[in-house]
Structure 1
Amino acid sequence: MAYPSDPQARERMRSILAPLFVECRELDFRGGVLFRGEASHYCLQQRRQVAHGLRQLGGGHYFEELDGRTYLTYAMPGPDFKPVNKLLHLVLFAATVLTTLVAGASWRFESFLAEAGASLVGAPGSPTLWELGRQLVAQGGPFSLAILLILGTHECGHYLMARRYGMLVTPPFFLPAPIPPIGTFGAVIRMRSPMLHRRALLDIGLAGPLAGLAVALPFFLYGLSQCQFEVIRYWEEGGGLVFGNSLFTWGASQLLVGSPPPGYALNWLSHPFAWAGWIGLLVTMLNLIPVGQLDGGHVAYALVGRRQRLVAWFFLGVLIALGQQWGGWLFWCVVMVLLMRVAHPPVVIEEVTLGRGRRALAWAALAIFILLFMPAPVRGVL
């Protein structure tokens, strides 16, 4: 059920919800409305029945304890609210499975794309489609499995935490990329409710990076232990890519495989789990930059409020300076400013503070960002 646009119908809806609150405030958002206030004695006595009734009405609700009081938040979508298109989610996920399989197979088997093209046009001596499919799964499956689990878990962390706060949010949209090297642009969710307060902002913002990191680390560490040193031949062969190190990846490689001999380098691509895990660490680092609507922007606003914009401009300045050494940072700064904005939008209730535990989590996020930061994630050697 959507929040009615007719004033009389809206008044009837208010009268239905009024007994649930001692005092209630309303906030309009995208045609819908958010009701927030201290839960009444009746509401607390009939909490299970109230929760069932609110679920029947639609939208999302959340009970929370603050300063010894119980508050109820109920978000009701507007008339133009569209339900989740499950078919679209499934189609995008299936397409992303295919593109990540192709990406993984292309890294493991350099002639895969050429053989696939020959097979599709029926060239003599080319593998059959069945043989091609088996090769695709065998060569690309490990990378596809790892990268989808890492990126999917990241977004599911955001989704589940947002649902815990009773927010209106879509399940993850997986975004296929038509060409290697990764086969995907990642995954995203759409938030359809305003962010209630800094505690919710921090919990939702951090849930994604921490969940994704918990999956990326085992893949990366296992894959790293299986990686091989290879002769550096970029200069002789006229080109190639060098993948960067962070403090964490450098330290892990020193512990697990040691320093490479002279003339050799560690090849992240020699094991699909190492490659997928490295991408997961890079994605986590990029998301933790404290700018705008990035996860790091959520964390910074939760910690310092409106001063987040000063933190954001400082980090943008640092990245622009680093862009003189690696041009990718200049491109990423443009993307962040245009798509993510610099300043984070305000939350509904600014006066709710984090508490010591959540402040410690916010500072831990900064430490994770520093450990994962790569001054030059990818460099081409020409």
Structure 2
Amino acid sequence: MYLEIKNLSVKLGEFHLKDINLKINEGEYVVLIGPTGSGKSVLLETIIGFYSSEEGIIKLNGNIINEIPPEDRGIGIVYQGNVLFPNMDVYENIAYGAKKKFSDEEIDEKIKKIAKKMKIEHIINRDINTLSGGEAQRTSLARTLIVEPKIILMDEPFSALDISTQEKLTSMIKVIVKEYKTTVLHVTHNFNDIWNLAEKVGVMKDGEIHQLDSVSEVFSKPKNNFVADFVGVKNIFEGCFIEKDLEKMIVQLKNGSIITSSDIGCLNRNEINLKEAENVLMAIRPENIIFSNEKFESSAKNQLKGKITEILESGPTILVSVDIDGVIFKGLLTKSSKEYLELKENKDVYISFKSLNVKILDSYNSVEH
């Protein structure tokens, strides 16, 4: 394991990082998400050594680094606002951190190489104060990469840039970190960074990592209702367990509706040993809900009838809320589908969803939002 954090706790006034455990393989790209104030930046700055831990260890490439000064840890960090020296040009800024590690000739060769990759070779002698936001951030990234850090920590590096520049930088970073085989831990609020860059994603709240897993696992199989809500599941329901076999689980909602789940991962786990009438928590992503004006024959085991209570447009998609005997289901569909079905508020409609898309959360863990 390249970066390994065990039982890490940090106290800063009233804020507390609690029992953080994190493992990142060499060359892996991991993204951290969570609400503002959840401790993402504090975790990065503890890894690099700006904060000291009360408990736990940080290991990098097999070595414990808790007591090593930040400048000797071999870790680079890139912030939202580029931290460049205003009295130096682009070349001098990139070269600054490499002076202790390489000769002038090596630095010059490396700067030419990284500047070409970052597409800033044409501004290499420019004054920092004349740079655009994208140029400044590419300069900052180049300065971090040139020293060949063991790992790069990125704290919302693209959030201050316009969308077009964000997309260009994201594409560029994806290629460069792969070529340099760089290990990255990236904090963001932008879910596009997850889709475009991450191999794993961690979800934090109140100083704790609630889930760290592959992107598909976190978004399709959240471990508790906070994670489910944060990653946009929308439909999180408590119900009573009725029965289970090797192929399905039957759950009854508080309104009496019967829901069938074929969550294979859940059904195959030995620790899922529910008793009759025991509470379980289910999650259904809104894009997995199908709308129809009439009941129809389908492979989807779950079909329910309700009344539309709200229709919200969000860019190219429509979020439709349906009241089914007091329980609100939310589904996503395109504008053209909404028009074709002639959906409107107070209209009766059928919703259906496959049992495979009903995810049973790992435990009945009701985490406050």
- Tell me the TM-score normalised to structure 1 length: 0.24
Q: Which has the higher helix share?
A: 1
Q: Which has the higher strand share?
A: 2
